[in-house]
């Protein structure tokens, strides 16, 4: 068990090290000028340096705030609507066709409309995150809630649970594994779209840093926000994984 | 309410009979809501749904407008097709060979949250603003979900099926092609469906960043120039492309995996 | 006061007691039919015109070929499924849905995976508004009774099938239903565990004499446990015959297996199920 774990780590580290090595080699042997491809060392030094500066942290904070607010709104809406649609025929009849139409629409294309409607500040970017993160959560909630073991509901009803409480006492916890899977997908998407939105309307945030660096051909500064968003995604994913471990303690194969 | 889970299946059954009309009704409802909302708002920058719809034929009738959109679709098709060819074998190999999985997993995890379209400025430096950069970015964006779904699909293939294949004297490659691939097909196609929508998004975004041609180019140029009817007409066109591609793919999927009872008849598409 | 329909003590105590006009039956199933609508195909009549009275404190088993509607009938009595025709009365009141007077035990256990063993057992008590401390105390007693002392903090996934079913039984007994509705509760267990749980169930039943409606495939199980065995026929599901099991209680498995009366019951009922003619006659 321990042996396979360490083997996994070694194997997994190979491509990461390989990429860094090839990257360094290309720079060192002069295949690419530093203006096009900065050495990896320089990028990491800049990243660490930036992490100490208030400007960078403020930009990162703006991104994180939008990510967090957008994701939270999407989660609340997605779980709420998904559960309602799963148990209520009327809601289902309205939600299903709407989701069918809206889910495959590329949400980034809506961003200009959101900009015109909500302005260039936080609201439009948060709205885009919500639009993108909503559907994975809604669909996985709906799927989880419609496929739960019916006898769980029956057992609860027989034990005296009032029918209107079954929704959050049984359906919600029983659908939790599926809901959290949807949340994980939505989190990755949120990272992606918040960055894109910041690139498009470029006022602040990590995406803006990338565009600003690109405009002045500062290649080192272009890599820093890219690595930052990857790190941010990894950290948030780890937090979600922790939440999953706690929430799904009783479920088989977490 | 006494049969909570039963309600879902019951409506699903009813849904079949009105299925062809429900999405249409939903479209009409959305357009009506837009129309009323725009009229209530009454600002210049938000045209009514009717105004935007009226601008759609202008774009599609215009030679360069249509050429731009077809350009976009071509890049998307090439990026998507090459991603499918590369990702499925890789994902299947990861699913059946643990060492391959532990080799690729970390790098995939690190790159997943990076928006591939955000690589555009960097890639443009190397490969220019032409087709190659944009197609490459689409390719990169689409590979990850397809790899992941193929990986999950292959991992879930029942061990006994593979044993019986081996007992029949199949080679490892034959087992992959004749047993693992078909068994994982529903999952793979779910990944392709996600990839399809991702390709569309990356297409729009990459064209927004490298303004040379394409649907995203028209959209964001119109936004910069304040041609709001065109902006919203483009949104309708791109949205319709998404819906049409998705519906067409769903047809294909149903034909390919008619034997599998996938309950998820709504796409889990994103971003 | 025992109703006439249940001559439990007749063999042990000589001639049957003098017929008394007894209290109404615990469960009265009156003219119950269930039709399933299926997309495309024609409607499917699963059970047809079932009439059955079950006395208070009786242990009644339902036997019949697969697909004859045993589960359907049980779900209707539970109030989980509404019949297309007929009514079910419990203590002379028509049921409108599930209620804590009828506790189900399913073959699939249906434990709440997100709750611990103790959490599962006290769920119904908490629903009834029993304070947590008191509910937990009763939960501990129940778990001890089903032989699961020390497993309070475990999650269901950490238990074996037999232990899960013990938890499910404790969960249902906790809110003290007047009727137990058991749908092949031991169907998913191995023979040894099944025997032990049968004995434990009989012990519990001897103690507080709840009315039990027990669906099973195993003829020996039905005869061993029941006062009465309902044999059903298929397409559509009807009651083919009601067999009274006049074997003395308390029953001991080892003695019973050698008992010719017991053996005759098993053989007769097996024959009844085997040659289930399509045009089954009503008893
Ligand atoms: N939800 C449903 N929809 C349609 N038909 C159903 C449904 N539930 C049960 N049936 C049909 O009703 C009949 C009776 O089913 P039921 O599950 O009650 O049988 P059973 O006697 O419990 O069988 P088994 O011994 O295999 O558990 C079957 O023919 C079945 O196909
Ligand atoms: Mg059954």
Q: Per-residue pLDDT for C279 more than 60?
A: no
Q: Is residue C193 part of a domain?
A: no
Nearest CA in chain A to B103: A12
Contact A63, A195 (CB under 8 A): yes
How does residue B12 score in pLDDT terms, banded at 50, 70 and 90? very low
- Average pLDDT score over residue span C41-55: 88
Q: What is the pLDDT of residue B17?
A: 56
Confidence of residue B271 (pLDDT cuts 50, 70, 90): very low
Q: Is the peptide bond before C250 cis (omega within 30 degrees of 0)?
A: yes
Q: For residue A84, what is the domain's CATH number?
A: 1.10.3720.10
In CATH, the architecture of B47-256 is: Orthogonal Bundle (1.10)
Q: Are A15 and B103 in contact (CB under 8 A)?
A: yes
Q: How many domains does chain A have?
A: 2
Nearest-angstrom CA–CA distance, C239 and C257? 27
Q: What is the pLDDT of residue C85?
A: 93
Tokens representing B217 are 């180019």
Contact B2 C39 (CB under 8 A): no
Check if the beta carbon of residue A115 is closer than 8 Å to that of residue A202: no
Q: Is residue A198 part of a domain?
A: yes
Q: Which amino acid residue places its CA nearest to atom 30 of ligand 1?
A: C67
Question: Which of A46-60, B33-47, C26-40, C137-151: highest mean pLDDT?
Answer: C137-151
The arithmetic mean of pLDDT across residues A227-252, rounded, is 89
Per domain, the residue ranges of chain B are 47-256
What is the per-residue pLDDT for C84? 93
pLDDT of residue B196: 87
Least confident among A140-144, B119-123, C278-282: C278-282
Q: Is A55 exposed, middle or buried (0-12, 13-18, 19+ CB in 10 A)?
A: exposed
Q: Please, what's the b/e burial string for B227-246 (b: 16 or more CB within 10 A of its CB; e: otherwise)?
A: bbbbbbbbbbbbbebbbebb
Does residue C55 contact residue C212 with C-beta atoms inside 8 Å? Answer: no
The answer to whether the beta carbons of residues C233 and C14 sit under 8 Å apart is no
Shared-domain flag, residues A186 and A234: yes
The DSSP letter of residue B22 is: H
| C150 has pLDDT over 60 | yes
B55-69 tens-digit pLDDT: 889 888 888 888 889
What is the average pLDDT score of chain A?
88
The mean per-residue pLDDT over the stretch B192-200 comes to 86
Q: Is residue A253 part of a domain?
A: no
Question: Residue C7: pLDDT above 80?
Answer: no
The residue count for chain A: 254
Q: What share of chain B is helix, strand, coil (3-state, %, to 5)?
A: 80, 0, 20
CB C219 within 8 A of CB C187: no
pLDDT band of residue B85 (cuts 50, 70, 90) is: very high
Q: CA-CA distance, B185 to B171, in Å (whole number)?
A: 20
Beta strand C211-215 with C59-63 is: parallel
Q: Is the peptide bond before B72 cis (omega within 30 degrees of 0)?
A: no
Full domain range(s) for residue C165: 108-176
**Do A125 and A197 meet the contact criterion of CB atoms below 8 Å apart?**
yes
Examine residue A252 and state whether it is found in any structural domain, yes or no.
no
Model pLDDT, residue B265: 42
Q: Is ligand 1 within 6 A of the CB of residue C67?
A: yes
Q: Is the pLDDT of residue C90 over 70?
A: yes
C36 in contact with ligand 1, CB cutoff 6 A:
yes
Q: Which residues contact A92 (CB under 8 A, 6 or more apart)?
A: A85, A86, B7, B8, B11
Separation between Cα atoms, residue B161 and residue B106, nearest integer Å: 29
Beta carbons within 8 Å of A36's beta carbon, 6+ residues apart? A219, B125, B126
**Whole-number Å distance between alpha carbons of B195 and B138:** 9
At residue C47, the 3 state secondary structure works out as: strand
A167 in the same domain as A143:
yes
Predicted pLDDT of residue A7? 77
C134-152 mean pLDDT: 92
Q: Do B102 and A8 touch, CB atoms closer than 8 A?
A: yes
pLDDT of residue C19 exceeding 70, the answer is no
Collapsing DSSP states into helix, strand and coil, what is residue A31? coil
C214: CB partners within 8 A, 6+ apart: C59, C60, C61, C62, C180, C182, C185, C222, C225, C226
Distances (CA, A) of C37 to B13, C40, C86: 11, 9, 17
Please give the pLDDT value at position C52. 92
| pLDDT band at C34; cut points 50, 70, 90 | very high
Q: A52 and A30, same structural domain?
A: no
**A93 and A24 belong to one structural domain:** no
Q: Which residue has the tokens 């390709």?
A: B199
Beta strands in chain C (DSSP E): 27-36, 44-54, 59-63, 85-90, 93-94, 102-106, 179-183, 211-215, 228-233, 238-244
Percent of chain B residues past pLDDT 70, beyond the cut: 88
Residue at C123 is within a domain:
yes
Residue with tokens 């998307």: B76
Into how many domains does chain C fold? Answer: 1
Helix (H, G, I), strand (E, B) or coil at B251: helix
Q: Which chain B residues in 114-133 lie under 8 Å from chain A, judged by CB atoms?
A: 114-115, 117-119, 121-122, 125-126
The domain of A31 spans: 1-37
Chains with 3 or more CB pairs closer than 8 angstroms to C?
A, B
> 3-state class of C30 per DSSP?
strand
Model confidence over B135-150: pLDDT tens digits? 999 999 999 889 988 9
Residue C184 CA: which ligand 1 atom is closest? Answer: 27
A106 falls within a domain: yes
pLDDT for residue B90 is more than 90: yes
Q: Which chain B residues in 10-29 lie under 8 Å from chain A, judged by CB atoms? A: 10-11, 15, 22-23, 25-27, 29
pLDDT in tens, C228-237: 999 998 878 8
DSSP codes of every residue in A141-186: HHHHHHSS-HHHHHHHHHTT--GGGHIIIIIHHHTHHHHHHHHHHH
Mutate to test the interface with B, among A21, A36, A100 (most CBs of B within 10 A): A100
Q: Strand order in C27-36's β-sheet?
A: C44-54, C27-36, C85-90, C93-94
Stated pTM of the model: 0.85
Q: What is the pLDDT of residue B8?
A: 37
Q: Are residues A99 and A181 in the same domain?
A: yes
Among the partner residues B5, B209, B235, nearest to A113 by beta-carbon distance: B235
Q: What ipTM, to 2 d.p.?
A: 0.84
For helices B228-256 and B49-61, the axis angle rounded to 10 degrees is 80
Buried b (16+ CB within 10 A) or exposed e, C259-276: eeebeebbeebeebbeeb
pLDDT of B243 > 80? The answer is yes
Nearest beta carbon to residue C80 from set B2, B13, B16: B2
Give domain status of residue A118, yes or no: yes
Distance CA C153, CA A128 (A): 44
Q: Which residue has 């394409």 as its token pair?
A: B214
Cα B134 to Cα B129: distance, rounded to the nearest angstrom: 8
List the strands of the sheet with C102-106, edge to edge. C102-106, C179-183, C211-215, C59-63, C228-233, C238-244
Asked whether C66 lines ligand 1 (CB < 6 A), one says: yes
Could you give the 3-state DSSP secondary structure of residue C176? Answer: coil
Taking CB atoms and an 8 Å cutoff, what residues of chain A touch C159?
A: none
pLDDT in tens, A196-227: 899 888 789 999 999 898 888 888 888 899 88
Closest residue in C to B16 (Cα–Cα) = C39
Pocket test for ligand 1, best of C33, C39, C62, C69 (most atoms within 8 A of CB): C69
């Amino acid at each position: 068990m321990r042996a396979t774990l360490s083997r996994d780590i070694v194997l997994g580290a190979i491509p990461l090290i390989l990429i860094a090595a090839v990257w360094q080699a290309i720079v060192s042997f002069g295949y690419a000028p530093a203006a096009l491809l900065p050495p990896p060392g320089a990028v990491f030094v800049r990243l660490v340096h930036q992490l100490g500066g208030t400007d960078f942290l403020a930009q990162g904070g703006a991104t994180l705030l939008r990510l967090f607010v957008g994701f939270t709104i999407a989660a609340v809406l997605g779980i709420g609507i998904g559960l309602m649609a799963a148990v209520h025929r009327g809601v289902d009849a309205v939600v299903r066709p709407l989701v069918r139409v809206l889910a495959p629409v590329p949400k980034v294309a809506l961003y200009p409309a959101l900009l015109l409607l909500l302005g260039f500040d936080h609201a439009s970017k948060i709205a885009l995150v919500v639009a993108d993160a909503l559907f994975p959560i809604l669909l996985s909630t709906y799927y989880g809630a419609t496929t739960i073991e019916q006898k769980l509901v029956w057992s609860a009803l027989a034990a005296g649970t009032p029918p209107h409480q079954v929704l959050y006492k049984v359906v919600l916890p029983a659908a939790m594994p599926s809901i959290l899977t949807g949340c994980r997908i939505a989190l990755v998407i949120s990272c992606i779209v918040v960055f894109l939105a910041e690139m498009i309307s470029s006022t602040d945030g990590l995406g803006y840093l990338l565009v600003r660096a690109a405009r002045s051909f500062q290649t080192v500064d272009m890599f820093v926000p890219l690595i930052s968003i990857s790190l941010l995604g990894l950290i948030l994913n780890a937090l979600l994984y922790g939440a999953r471990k706690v929430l799904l303690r009783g479920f088989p194969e977490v | 309410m006494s049969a909570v889970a039963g309600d879902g299946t019951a409506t699903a059954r009813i849904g079949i009979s009105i299925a062809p009309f429900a999405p249409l009704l939903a479209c009409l409802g959305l357009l009506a809501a837009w129309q009323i909302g725009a009229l209530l708002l009454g600002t210049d920058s938000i045209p009514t749904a009717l105004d935007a719809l009226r601008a759609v034929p202008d774009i599609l009738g215009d030679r360069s407008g249509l050429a731009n959109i077809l350009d976009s679709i071509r890049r998307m098709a090439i990026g998507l097709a090459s991603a499918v060819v590369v990702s499925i074998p890789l994902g299947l190999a990861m699913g059946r060979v643990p060492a391959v999985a532990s080799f690729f997993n970390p790098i995939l995890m690190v790159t997943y949250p990076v928006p591939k379209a955000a690589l555009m400025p960097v890639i443009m430096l190397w490969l220019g603003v032409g087709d190659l950069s944009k197609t490459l970015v689409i390719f990169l964006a689409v590979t990850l979900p397809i790899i992941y779904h193929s990986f999950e699909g292959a991992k879930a293939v029942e061990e006994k099926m593979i044993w019986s294949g081996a007992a029949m004297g199949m080679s490892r490659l034959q087992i992959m092609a004749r047993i693992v691939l078909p068994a994982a097909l529903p999952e793979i196609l779910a990944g392709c469906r996600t990839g399809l929508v991702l390709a569309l998004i990356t297409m729009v975004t990459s064209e927004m960043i490298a303004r040379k041609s394409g649907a995203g180019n028209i959209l964001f140029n119109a936004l910069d120039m304040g041609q709001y009817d065109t902006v919203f007409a483009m949104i309708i066109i791109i949205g319709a492309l998404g819906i049409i591609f998705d519906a067409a793919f769903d047809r294909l999927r149903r034909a390919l995996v008619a034997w599998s009872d996938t309950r998820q008849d709504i796409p889990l598409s994103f971003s | 006061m025992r109703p006439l329909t249940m001559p439990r003590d007749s063999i042990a105590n000589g001639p049957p007691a003098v017929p008394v006009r007894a209290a109404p039956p615990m469960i009265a199933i009156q003219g119950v039919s269930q039709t399933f609508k299926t997309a495309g195909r024609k409607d499917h009549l699963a059970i047809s015109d079932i009439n059955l009275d079950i006395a208070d404190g009786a242990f009644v088993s339902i036997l019949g070929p697969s697909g004859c509607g045993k589960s359907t009938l049980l779900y209707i009595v539970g109030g989980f499924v509404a019949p297309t025709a007929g009514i079910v009365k419990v203590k002379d009141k028509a049921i409108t849905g599930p209620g804590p007077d009828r506790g189900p035990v399913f073959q699939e256990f249906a434990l709440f995976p997100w709750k611990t063993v103790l959490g599962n057992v006290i769920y119904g008590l908490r629903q009834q508004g029993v304070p947590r401390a008191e509910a937990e105390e009763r939960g501990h007693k129940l778990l001890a009774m089903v032989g699961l002392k020390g497993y309070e903090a475990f999650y269901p996934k950490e238990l074996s099938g037999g232990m899960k079913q013990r938890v499910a039984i404790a969960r249902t007994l906790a809110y003290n239903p007047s009727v137990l509705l058991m749908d092949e509760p031991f169907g998913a267990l191995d023979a040894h565990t099944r025997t032990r749980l049968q004995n434990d169930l009989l012990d519990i039943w001897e103690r507080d004499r709840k009315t039990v409606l027990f669906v099973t495939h195993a003829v020996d199980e039905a005869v061993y446990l029941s006062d009465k065995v309902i044999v059903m026929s298929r397409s559509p599901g009807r009651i083919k015959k009601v067999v009274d099991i006049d074997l003395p209680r308390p029953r001991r498995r080892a003695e019973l297996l050698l008992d010719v009366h017991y053996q005759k019951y098993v053989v007769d009922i097996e024959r009844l199920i085997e040659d289930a003619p399509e045009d089954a006659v009503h008893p």
